[in-house]
Amino acid sequence: RLMRNKGVRKHHGKSAEMYARVPNVLLEKWMREDGVNALAMRKGEFSKWIKRKLATAEGSACRVSDRAI
């Protein structure tokens, strides 16, 4: 799936409407590591949390757009 993200990034570039594709397995891993339930977070809390995760080296592989977070 992460390889597919590279293809999407190359195809859409900066015009991509989507910012990232995070596999469920990775999302679950992040939630376990941080001890959070992303499904119970408010919209603003989830946005801040996921932006922080996508800014990491591991999260950058999920991004399909180069635009700023």
List pLDDT tens digits, range 14-26.
544 566 778 889 8
Q: In the structure, what pLDDT confidence band is assigned to residue 1 with cuts at 50, 70 and 90? A: low
As a whole number, mean pLDDT of residues 7-16 equals 52
Residue type (1 letter), 31? M
Residue 12 CA to residue 64 CA, distance in Å, equals 8
Which long-range contacts does 49-57 make (Cβ < 8 Å, 24+ apart)? 50/22, 54/19, 54/20, 54/22
Q: Encode pLDDT of 23-66 as tens digits.
A: 889 889 999 999 999 889 887 898 899 889 988 888 888 877 66
Full DSSP string of 7-34: HHHHHHGGG-S--B---HHHHHHHHHHH
What is the predicted pLDDT for the residue at 15?
Answer: 47
Strand partners, 13: none
